[in-house]
Amino acid sequence: MNTKARKLGPVSVITGMNRGRYPYCHSVYIEEAGVLIDPGSDRERLQKIKQDKGFQMVWLSHWHEDHFMHLDLLQDLPIWMNENDAPPLADTEVFLDWYGVKNKNERAYWRSELKEKFHYRPRKPTRFLRDGEIIDLGNLTVEVILTPGHSPGHLAFFFREPQILFLGDYDLTPFGPWYGDRYSSIEQTIDSIKILKEIPAKIWLTSHETGVFEESAGDLFDQYLGVIQSREDKLLDFLSRPRTTKEIVGAWIVYGRKREPKEFYEFGERTNMQKHLEKLLAQDVIAFDGERYYRIRKQNGGSKRRPQN
């Protein structure tokens, strides 16, 4: 399947395979400066652009595998990214640790996937991109915006003159945000999305699916944030009686239904739900008895009691 490149003034979007659905993403290309952002789109097209026009450097919005899938084609180029996301790019075991992969079978699965599907080769960034930094690319200026939550060093880029905002993996899809990594945060995700919503853009670019939004995206931001609350509401309903982690994962609140491969989807379901459980525990909305989580019910006067099995 051949993908297309969509030119938006000085900024081009290279559409990812399968509409940029995971394990692919859309890439952003600033031809005049030779900047390629997130080389996870289309291997054949990236090879052709490299041959015909060339790249000068690669920027990574963050450390995830679908965003560096074809980085091996660009071994000779400098890599720019935020320092907070650099460690997993340099070491496979650190990569797995950052995802929170502990199970032996899951680690073996991911080692194989990284090598075979995502062409992972350890790399170290040449330069770190800082929050609020303004970069002059000659034909346009770019503001770097640190947007943690999805990952600690996730970056968005605001191309000032054409008022184009690249949101990265805050992708405004109906699936909603991902915050299941070891260093992800629901609270930071919410804060980052609210910051991005207020930036005076005219065009919004995202890493997956639709990819280009040319009409007001305000409602989409609200719907995207709403997915977080919807997941939490469903979890709280499910915890009306005590539930084990296995039972919570088996409810498929995030993905909606059981999916394969197990090593990928059960892992994702578990880690995202764990973030909600941690959040609700900290808020004293639920409790954990060592085996099961349950919703706290308060008696008159505010005292708490455990629910009956």
**Mean pLDDT of the residues in the chain:** 94
157-171, 200-214, 231-245, 295-309: the lowest-pLDDT one? 295-309
The type of residue at 193 is I
Specify the pLDDT at position 304.
Answer: 55
Question: How does residue 217 score in pLDDT terms, banded at 50, 70 and 90?
Answer: confident
**CATH code reported for the domain at 239-298:** 1.10.10
What CATH topology corresponds to 5-224? Answer: Metallo-beta-lactamase; Chain A (3.60.15)
Closest CA to 167 of 135, 191, 197: 197
Span 104-127, mean pLDDT? Answer: 96
* Integer Cα distance of 43 and 41 in angstroms: 7
**The pLDDT of residue 160 is above 80:** yes
Mean pLDDT for the stretch of residues 180-207: 97
Residue 288 CB: number of other CB atoms within 10 A? Answer: 13
pLDDT confidence of residue 36: 98
Model confidence at 297, pLDDT cuts 50, 70, 90, reads confident
Lowest-confidence segment of 126-135, 158-167, 262-271 by average pLDDT: 262-271
Percent of the chain surpassing pLDDT 70: 95
d(CA 16, CA 93): 27
Break the chain into its structural domains and give their ranges: 5-224, 239-298
Average pLDDT over residues 68-87: 98
In order of 155, 211, 266, the CA distances from 30 in angstroms are 17, 16, 38
> If you average pLDDT over residues 52-69, what whole number do you get?
97
Flag whether pLDDT at 309 surpasses 70: no
pLDDT at 228 over 50: yes
Q: What's this model's pTM, rounded to 2 decimal places?
A: 0.94
**What's the mean pLDDT in 190-212?**
97
